[in-house]
Structure 1
Amino acid sequence: MKTMSARDAKHQFGRLIDTARAEPVVVEKHGRPVVVVLAVEEFERLKALSELDRQATKSVGKGD
């Protein structure tokens, strides 16, 4: 996973987007990670996994 400072992300926004399309990018402020920028396809994949996990947890709870 790549890392960029918030300042670099601001000044090189196009590069941030290009990099994030290939792999998630951690953006740091004052040396601490504050956000992760990732491709929309990866975001959608993670949302789908989260939904599947929530449904599985829900169905396990009903079996009690």
Structure 2
Amino acid sequence: MNDEPLPDCAPANTPADASGRPPVSCRMCGRTLTGRASRRTGLGPACDAKLHPDRPDIRPRRHEVEQEPLF
């Protein structure tokens, strides 16, 4: 077999941060991502909110209606 060491996952020209992981940039704005979930999805929190806005509140609204009392 070949005795050469296995290459790292990161490209050689990519500097690693303090934790030793290669930097990951947001796919929309290009900022460096630091959070675990952001690094996994490739989107920062602000860009993720732009692509996936909160669902509208579609619960029925209650309102008072004037009616004769029930006996």
TM-score norm. by structure 2 comes to 0.27
Bigger RCO of structures 1 and 2 (CA < 8 A, at least 6 apart): 1
Instruction: State the structure with more CA Rg.
Output: 2
Choose between structure 1 and 2: higher helix proportion: 1
